[in-house]
Amino acid sequence: MLKKPNTKTIIGVAATAGALVIGAKVGDGISAVMPDSTNGYKKWAIAGVSIIAAAFITPTTAMAKAGQNALIGMGTKQIYDELSDTLAEAIPVKAADTTSNKFVNAIVGHKEVSLNNTTPALNAAWQGEGSDMWDRPSDQPLLGNSFSGV
């Protein structure tokens, strides 16, 4: 049932959102410092441990609720990253010429990409084979206008 929010409920929801985001970022930090030998399973391990740890917390105080939400955020973000990586590898990029293609690309986790080689791809350097395979035109210097030795 919907009801009119008050200051207390707004602050509570904002604290929940903040704890979820903090947990997600801490999980990313933990993932970054784990050894490379754990790359195949570290996201699943972080997700499993954090979600199980969250289940042990009884959220009777604001701090306990924030801790539980941070652990849930940590696990959720790692599962999100793992599923996004898996989908991005399994589903090819579609030309963003229709709303449905844009929607599918966003769900899968593909970045917006130019498929016509006249416009550089966003967040990507590799464009294919041949002399125009990089997204930086060859007549532009590497470091912008401040370095003309290229």
pLDDT computed for residue 129 by the predictor: 55
Distances (CA, A) of 78 to 11, 51, 60, 68, 84: 26, 11, 26, 16, 10
**Three-state SS annotation for 34-62:** CCHHHCCCHHHHHHHHHHHHHHHCCCCCH
CA 52 to chain centre: 22
CA distance 62 to 148: 58
pLDDT at 97: 83
Would you state the pLDDT for residue 113?
55
pLDDT tens digit sequence for 70-124: 999 999 999 999 998 888 888 888 887 888 888 888 888 776 655 554 444 444 4
The pTM (predicted TM-score) of the whole model is 0.66
- What digits encode the pLDDT tens for the residues 32-65? 999 999 999 999 999 999 999 999 999 999 999 9
